[in-house]
Amino acid sequence: MTLALVHRGDAEHGVDRLARTVAASAAVRASGAVLALPHEVVDGARAHVHFTDRLWGASPEASADAIEALAARATLTVTLHDLPQASDGARSMERRADAYRRVVRAAAAVVCTSDYERGLLARVVGVDGAAACAIVPLPCERASDAAEPVPLRREVGVLGFFYPGKGHAEAVAASAALPAPLPVVAIGRAAPGHEAELAELATHARDVGVECTSTGFLDEEALVARMRSTLVPVVAHRHVSASGSLASWIGAGRRPIVVRNAYFEEMAALRPGTTWLVDDDELPHAIAIAAADPASTHLGADASVRPDLDDVAAAYLALWGSA
């Protein structure tokens, strides 16, 4: 039976890029696996989707509708991303949690990318059987030239879509606490609906003596180049269920400064030596150290970043074989 590995054709969304990347790797290993857009899934097929409500619909309700419609004509397995949590705000969390519950009910099997997210599934979404949810980590792929030195930009970089809680404001505050503040750059663009808040942060940053800018969307080549050339890579999420940006920094050969929480502690244990964990109040000091010693945020050529794409594709094929 054909296994349709579904993507949305969204070149800018990290979850959809992940879906395509994993699907392409799995399709090489399994002759019956094919990349497909939702409308290309044939009735009676098996299918897998990577789900976040912000990718699959204009609202949480619409996104759940889309998944239920797909599940009505295919045996569906689902990887959940961006799980609802308290920092969404009470009303948004309630709507998102209901959408995720509907998606889980429609699925034959469910995957999370970390134990931390499986805990969110159980605690926040309240789904029965969350303990049976499979764990397949986000893959990390080391860029072929990641260990080669490049000229560095004097900036603090925060990677990924901008939205409140992503760590940009924390980076600005930490930079403002330095004797000589560094510019803060949002590497990427504002998430839809958050453009005004990005502009507000830039204004606030100027008020506290920090230049804060955004690169806008960067294609893969430009994105990797910017990650490699940023002086101080920072991951300071307050709203986190998983972090593709952390895996991207590591793949670009960087050892980012990461503000400690349960998810990032799990990732530090998964890939030892690839992150620099700090507490909230240590962030300014860590940035100062990194700026003075840039080598501290670069991985050696022999650093292991596994599980890599091969590992993750193999884990999914095993899951699909048993689902």
pLDDT tier for residue 2 given thresholds of 50, 70 and 90: confident
Judged against a pLDDT cut of 60, whether residue 206 lies above it is answered with: yes
The CATH superfamily label for domain 3-139+307-322 reads Glycogen Phosphorylase B; (3.40.50.2000)
| DSSP for 178-228, written as a single string | SSSPPPEEEES-BPTT-HHHHHHHHHHHHHTT--EEE-----HHHHHHHHH
Mean pLDDT of all residues in 58-78: 96
Calculate the dihedral angle through the C-alpha atoms of 189, 194, 199, 203, rounding to the nearest 10 degrees.
Answer: -120
So what's the pLDDT on residue 143?
79
pLDDT at 146: 62
pLDDT in tens, 117-163: 999 998 878 877 677 799 999 999 887 766 677 899 999 999 988 98
Q: Percent of the chain having pLDDT more than 90?
A: 74
pLDDT at position 54 over 60:
yes
Q: What is the CATH number of domain 153-297?
A: 3.40.50.2000
Q: Which residue has the higher pLDDT, 149 or 298?
A: 298
Taking the C-alpha atoms of residue 174 and residue 258, their distance in angstroms, rounded to an integer, is 13
| CATH 3.40.50.2000 in the chain, residue ranges | 3-139+307-322, 153-297
Q: Where are the strands (E) in the chain, listed by range?
A: 3-6, 33-36, 45-51, 74-80, 109-112, 134-135, 153-159, 184-187, 212-214, 230-235, 257-259, 276-278
Instruction: Determine the pLDDT at residue 144.
Output: 73
Q: Is the pLDDT of residue 279 over 70?
A: yes
Residue 164: predicted pLDDT: 83
Specify the higher pLDDT residue, 142 or 113: 113
**Rounded Cα gap, residues 187 and 181, in angstroms:** 18
pLDDT band at 300 (very low <50, low <70, confident <90, very high): confident
**pLDDT mean across residues, the chain:** 92
- Report pLDDT for 86: 82
